[in-house]
Homo-oligomer: A and B are copies of this chain.
C-alpha cells in the first residue's frame, strides 16, 4: 500500500526495490503469509530477491510495528499486515485457515493483580481454535 510505503519512507526507511516488493506483497488481501510464501510472491516480481532479504525485511517491519508476527501453528511464523487494528485470531485445526476476530471485552482486565506475579504486562494474544465450516462439512 502506498500508505505503508509512505509511512516507512517518512520514518527514514531507505527504499529499495526489494523492500518495496515485500511491502507490496504484504499489502494484498492475502494476509497471514509465511516468510517463504512472501518470498515466493516477491520472486514473481523481482526474481533475484534472496530469502535472507525477505527475512530481514519482515523482521524490520515487525520491529517498526507495521506488521505483526503470528504463531498460530507450530510451523512457520505468519505475517499479518493488519497491525493497526488490534485483533485476535481464529484458526482452523484441520486446514489451518486463519481469520482475524474482534472479541468484546479486555482479556487484560481478566487477570487479577495477584495473578500477575509482578510482571509488567504489555500485550495479550488470544488464539481461538476450532474447525471451519468448510472442514466441518467435508
Give the interface of A toward B (CB within 8 A).
Answer: 69, 71, 74, 77, 90, 92-93, 99, 101-105, 107-108, 110-112, 115-133, 136
Contacts and interface: CB of A to CB of B under 8 A. Distances in A.
Contact of A104 (B101, B112, B128, B132): B112
B126 A125 contact: yes
Nearest to A109: B105
A131 B124 contact: no
Q: Is the interface of A mostly helix, strand, loop or mixed?
A: mixed
10 contacts: A90-B115, A102-B115, A103-B111, A104-B111, A104-B112, A105-B107, A107-B128, A124-B129, A125-B126, A126-B126
Give me the 9 closest cross-chain CB pairs, A-B, nearest first.
A121-B130, A118-B133, A103-B110, A105-B110, A119-B130, A123-B129, A125-B127, A101-B115, A103-B111
B128 A124 contact: yes
A110 to B, nearest CB: 4
Given A74-B77, A126-B125, A132 B103 contact: no
A124 B110 CA distance: 14
Contacts of A131: 119-120, 122
Contacts of A110: 103-105, 107
